[in-house]
Amino acid sequence: MKQVQKKQSRVIHPRTILILAASAALIMGTAGYFVLRGDTQDPPPVIHTASEYVTILGKYDLDDIVSVTITPPGGEAYSLLSQDGKLVYADDPSFPLRPGITDLVASNICTVRSENTVLDTAEHPVKLADFGLEPYRCMCTFQLTDGTVNTIRIGNQIAGGEIPYYYFMWNSDPRIFAGGTDMYSAFSYDRSFLHTVTQPSVNTDILDAVEITGLNTLSFRYTDIGWQITSPFSYPADTNLMTGYLANLSHILFSRYICRTGDADLKALGLEDPLLTLTVTEAESILTVPDTSGNFHTYPIPEVRSVFRFGAEYDEYNRYVEYNGSVYTATFYLTDFLFDVGAKDLCLSSPFDLDIYRLTGLEVDSSSGRVRYDIILTEQVGPSGALVTDEMGNTLYDCSILRNGEAMDTDAFLTWYAADLRPVSPSGISVDLPPQERKEAAAFTLFGEKSKRTVSFYKNGLQYLMYVDGTCRFYVSSQAFEQLFPLP
């Protein structure tokens, strides 16, 4: 009997994370100085190497600091206080701050380090505006417990090398220093970034349904024979395309916390009547966890439905989004696919491309009559009575076929299915014509345990229009259609 390997109906795909980076570096010669100054008469300044960095302010603890005021590139300053060894928001100490940001700020005020000394303006007068220091790009002022107040002014990124330093000046020191990107990052976050952000979690491994309404209309659900588009028309979805789409869903992240939904002016944010609403439904599942003794316990997890409402633009990079009782921002980069990808972009071009183990039967209606094939899979059992599995632990099955209720040559059916039916692919994209205006040449209905898919062919000149679940997206050549007959 022909062996058929039956796999799990769900495939777990690793998440991929796209990491974006940018780089620039320090000017290591004299040419940069002359260009910035516009003067070629004075001798070049001495620019130290990176290994000769200078610690401007020695190692302090947060307990040695009273407060810090940050003026980011946007210009709206805010203050943080040092309390009990951590930084808190001065206007509201209970305001939850992102640890990553406060840790970065703390490390750059407890120790201030110059990676290089670019030049001494007392010896070589320059226009600070050429360095982005007048006006500055961002600034930090912090006060120590002894009353000392220190100020860091940060300018442009230094161009021309491999290390992305930034110009900065310290208090009234006439020297221009080079600071690391962590220094610039610490003092460039505006107030909207401070609040902790609870990121959404879309578990695509147990995702059952997705619905999009508004500027885009698209919905699809998971079935035992694959993903099925359900709106704006019914059509099977391409597995590979869905893998990418679901990966994008799992990567939706929020960049800022704005406020609780009840405190927001939803109309002003474009959320009273959202531009787009995304609803994702995760199926009921079972959580299995071990205890300290190594015993496993199972807990049922109910169905989870999450709703994202997308509104107006926040700035040139972000849009407002309301989720789970709060308003956030999300980048266009991570969310534009919801607006741009439609049902036609996800359609499966080869509707018979299904592994045989997913099917329980196949029915064919043609001019020769109706033929029903029942596909029966039986678990293989070894001499010891244990189930036979492959090297991956998947159970192996024997396959047998009934034709109109009677046993037939299984190999003949499987060969026809693999060589003639499954490879059928379109010759081109078709205009959707009402099938009732034409006589059906043949219809193939594939049955899963809970779902079915019907592929109908209608002759149209030298081609055959291919309707899948009532929708025509493609046509096939006469040769592709005729190779399906005679049936096994």
How do the pLDDT tens digits run along the chain, 488 residues long? 445 554 443 433 333 323 223 333 323 333 333 233 333 333 333 344 444 567 888 889 999 999 999 999 988 999 999 999 999 999 999 999 999 999 999 999 999 999 889 999 999 999 999 999 999 999 999 999 999 999 999 999 998 767 889 999 999 999 999 999 999 999 999 999 999 999 999 999 999 999 999 999 999 999 999 999 999 999 999 999 999 999 999 999 999 999 999 999 999 999 999 999 999 999 987 777 787 877 887 877 788 999 999 999 999 999 999 999 999 999 999 999 999 999 999 999 999 999 999 999 999 999 999 999 999 999 888 888 888 888 888 888 899 999 999 999 999 999 999 999 999 999 999 875 665 567 899 999 999 999 999 999 999 889 999 999 999 999 999 999 999 999 99
CA distance 355 to 377: 13
| Contact present, 236 and 469 (Cβ < 8 Å) | yes
**Collapsing DSSP states into helix, strand and coil, what is residue 37?**
helix
CA distance 443 to 337: 35
Reported for 65-68, long-range contacts at CB under 8 A and 24+ positions apart, including other chains, are 65/109, 65/110, 65/142, 65/143, 65/144, 65/145, 66/142, 66/143, 66/144, 66/145, 67/142, 67/143, 68/105, 68/109, 68/140, 68/141, 68/142, 68/143
